[in-house]
Amino acid sequence: MTRFAAPISEQIWDMKYRLKDADGTPVDRTVEDSWRRIARALAETEKEPELWEQRFYEALEDFKYLPAGRITAGAGTGRSVTLFNCFVMGTIPDSMAGIFDMLKEAALTMQQGGGIGYDFSTIRPRGADVLGVAADASGPLSFMDVWDAMCRTIMSAGSRRGAMMATMRCDHPDIEDFITAKSDSARLRMFNLSVLITDDFMDAVKADGPWELKFGDKVYHTLQARDLWNKIMQSTYDFAEPGVIFIDRINKANNLSYCETIAATNPCGEQPLPPYGACLLGSVNLARLVADPFGDDAKLDQDQLDDLVRIAVRMMDNVVDTSQFPLHEQAQEAQNKRRIGLGVTGLADALLMVGLRYGSDEAAHQAEDWLRQIARSAYLASVDLAREKGAFPLFDADKFLASGTMLQMDHDVRAAIAEHGIRNALLTSIAPTGTISLYAGNVSSGIEPVFAYAYTRKVLQKDGSRTEEEVVDYAVQMWRDKFGDKDLPDYFVNAQTLAPLDHVKMQAAAQKWVDSSISKTINCPEDISFEDFKDVYIEAYETGCKGCTTYRPNDVTGSVLSVSEVSEKAPEADTGADVIYMAEPLDRPQALDGHTYKLKWPDSEHAIYLTINDILIGGHRRPFEVFINSKNMEHYAWTLALTRMISAVFRRGGDVSFVVEELKAVFDPRGGAWMQGKYIPSILAAIGGVIEQHLIRIGFIEGEGMGLKSDPKSEVVAIGEAPRGKPCPSCGQFDLRMVEGCMTCMSCGHSKCG
């Protein structure tokens, strides 16, 4: 019998986490092999590795403990990869040389994957004097554009990387431009943006007082605090960005406030980190720990929870010593503080199983109790590790126990830390779990409510035929297994029907016992008034949240899949077959039609020849493979790599026009060239232009700079409405939704944040 609760779970494992050889041959034959691989790798640092390997395996078994995706995919593979998900980079110096040193570090980090966060408040504002060169500064946003291009360039090299987070203080002179930067949909696409909100600023907003925008000792502008707040709110209302981070609260609560200052977070906001800080994530699956679900005696098994948390802390602590790091500074930071981020997933499902309505006062109290138990178990486990292996190197008992978080901790935990120290400076965080939640049987994600009880996704097979597959929420499936077709109780609620302030209530309840932060999206109805929308943020601040991220569907942000108590089935919409979505790549036919194009790059001795072959499906041509040839041997390696990667993308199907977009965005720091009256920023951009002309020629796209002519799966969005927003870049379906601060596809699990 398979361990997977749903077909999509096995697909996610095979696609993202299963160890395979370079040619795609599976090394992990079963998911049990994956669990064994991870357990063995993380037990290698132990004095009794065989004992701990078995304990670790038992924690992983049946998806009870879910390490973050990078650990699940990378541990025990023998590959030189980082097991840390995200990084906050070093403080950006206010100098040209320092800025580009930081850009280089970011590129090196992103090459190994994962997201990065930066505070751009340290760069002088636009128009400020630049001493010694008789010029005005271009400002932080101009350098953010450079970072954005760097990220796009690395992505164009063939692999999707994590997102980037940019933060800026609310008193920086360029804050107004920062707030509205993403109103231009083509700008800063690789970034999430968040404003660092101080307590002084919130006091000024409440008092409708003045607010100074300054850099260094110079005040550049004074405006009303409430006007600036309204500008932040309006942009978020319209474009879902920027987010809001209550930075003073984060620093006051930080266990390490005595030795670090935080000014940025990882891309989804659950890990506020110091310069060169890294986030190491994992989640306890609460949905697997409920005894007698939906029964009279339904309850969370506290003993099992305690044991699982203690094992998870030990596993995560071992990752610090096992992982590679892109930069020496990141390794040093991790070793000195041994920060981990243990969180939960399946919270909403667990609440349903014990008969509680997500968002109710009772559910908030229950969630707070569960997270308090997790915090207690995690801190006591870390104390035990300190007794066995030593406290983290920068531990100072008096200062640590005087921090904001530790002052509310239970007396016995404080006493244990005072006596024995603690192995990990921070222990808890609630991270985005969209993909690993699907892998674990489609449990509810993180602390989010259930998004949809069930929906239908269409999967195209190798022969081009379609199969339908129902994806059911884990708790709903358990209800069906126990009660058949009996109607769901009225305490079943979902993200679309839940009042925004109920979202805030659950986030605030969880935050009390989370020493880092929480990645959560507060879903707001499209017709929410602007005043009510602003109240969501004020409530988040007043109730102790460390940040706030909302999502209001509209013509700019996109709509979301409709939700009902039965499976939502998308209409057939078979009115076009030029877009094909495949679970597996198509086999190559014996013969294909195609065209060969000659590309002569100025100042290059040899021309490049591109052959693009097409396949005919449903009477429509679509690109199938690319061959790039040149007599210039300097081009051999990268043209071969590009050939293989683009062909692999084409054979997976879906909207592959993004290949053109990404190639055309690549710039060469040595300079581009003028071709046929246009400036082309690089030879890769020129190749992208040739592919684009071919797609126009075969009718796959309508014209230059345009996407697909039509999408036969567009009606998978809210039935009866025109599709809004963008299709998933992985599978092409219009199933993107904002989960835990990150755009996530319901159909394939693709996440912008990795």
pLDDT of residue 636: 76
What residues does 621 pair with on adjacent strands?
616
Mean pLDDT is highest, among 27-36, 687-696, 723-732, for 27-36
Query: For residues 543 and 407, what is the distance between their CA atoms, to the nearest angstrom?
Result: 18
What pTM does this model have? Answer: 0.79
**pLDDT above 70: residue 92:** yes
pLDDT of residue 150: 83
pLDDT-based confidence at 238, cuts 50/70/90? Answer: very high
pLDDT in tens, 65-81: 999 999 999 999 998 88
> Is 653 inside a domain boundary?
yes
- The active-site residue, picked from 192, 254, 255, 266, is 266
pLDDT-based confidence at 567, cuts 50/70/90? Answer: very low
> Is 526 inside a domain boundary?
no
pLDDT-based confidence at 115, cuts 50/70/90? Answer: confident
Domain boundary among 665, 697, 729: 697
- The residue segments making up the domain with residue 674 are 593-697
**pLDDT above 80: residue 493:** yes
Among 32-36, 341-345, 461-465, 481-485, where is mean pLDDT lowest?
461-465
> Is 747 inside a domain boundary?
no
pLDDT of residue 564: 37
**pLDDT above 90: residue 171:** yes
pLDDT-based confidence at 565, cuts 50/70/90? Answer: very low
Among 361-365, 491-495, 514-518, where is mean pLDDT lowest?
491-495
pLDDT-based confidence at 236, cuts 50/70/90? Answer: very high
> Is 54 inside a domain boundary?
no
Please give the C-alpha separations between residue 46 and each of 32, 40, 317, 388, 399, in angstroms, as whole numbers. Answer: 22, 10, 11, 11, 30
Question: 117 near 89, Cβ under 8 Å?
Answer: yes
pLDDT in tens, 638-664: 888 888 888 888 887 767 778 888 888
pLDDT of residue 713: 34
CA angle 730, 733, 736 (to 5 degrees): 85
Can 86 be counted among the known catalytic residues?
A: no
Mean pLDDT is highest, among 47-61, 489-503, 558-572, for 47-61
Among 95-109, 291-305, 452-466, 490-504, where is mean pLDDT lowest?
452-466
**pLDDT above 90: residue 53:** yes
Question: 547 near 194, Cβ under 8 Å?
Answer: yes
pLDDT of residue 659: 86
pLDDT in tens, 245-260: 999 999 999 999 999 9
pLDDT in tens, 692-735: 889 888 888 877 765 543 333 333 333 333 445 566 655 555 66
Mean pLDDT, residues 602-622 taken together: 80
pLDDT-based confidence at 680, cuts 50/70/90? Answer: confident
pLDDT of residue 733: 59
Question: 317 near 409, Cβ under 8 Å?
Answer: no
- For the chain, the distance separating the N- and C-terminal CA atoms, rounded to the nearest angstrom, is 30
Query: For residues 165 and 229, what is the distance between their CA atoms, to the nearest angstrom?
Result: 20
Query: For residues 90 and 106, what is the distance between their CA atoms, to the nearest angstrom?
Result: 9
> Is 569 inside a domain boundary?
no
Q: Count how many domains the chain has.
A: 2
Higher pLDDT, 3 or 709: 3
pLDDT in tens, 301-356: 999 999 999 999 999 999 999 999 999 999 999 999 999 999 999 999 999 999 99
- Per-residue exposure over 434-473, b if at least 16 CB sit within 10 Å of its own CB, e if not: bbbbbbbbbbbbbbbbbbbbbbebbbbeeeeeeeeeebbb
> Is 605 inside a domain boundary?
yes
- The active-site residue, picked from 53, 105, 270, 625, is 270
Domain boundary among 227, 253, 279: 253
pLDDT of residue 428: 98
Q: Which of 532, 513, 515 is nearest to 524 (CA)?
A: 532
pLDDT-based confidence at 293, cuts 50/70/90? Answer: very high
- The active-site residue, picked from 86, 151, 170, 268, is 268
**pLDDT above 50: residue 134:** yes
Q: Which of 612, 691, 370 is nearest to 514 (CA)?
A: 370
> Is 221 inside a domain boundary?
yes
pLDDT of residue 202: 98
Averaged confidence pLDDT in the chain: 86
Query: For residues 346 and 302, what is the distance between their CA atoms, to the nearest angstrom?
Result: 16
pLDDT of residue 718: 33
Q: Which of 748, 197, 287, 253 is nearest to 473 (CA)?
A: 287
Mean pLDDT, residues 740-753 taken together: 65
Can 260 be counted among the known catalytic residues?
A: no
Higher pLDDT, 255 or 618: 255
> Is 557 inside a domain boundary?
no
Domain boundary among 646, 675, 697: 697
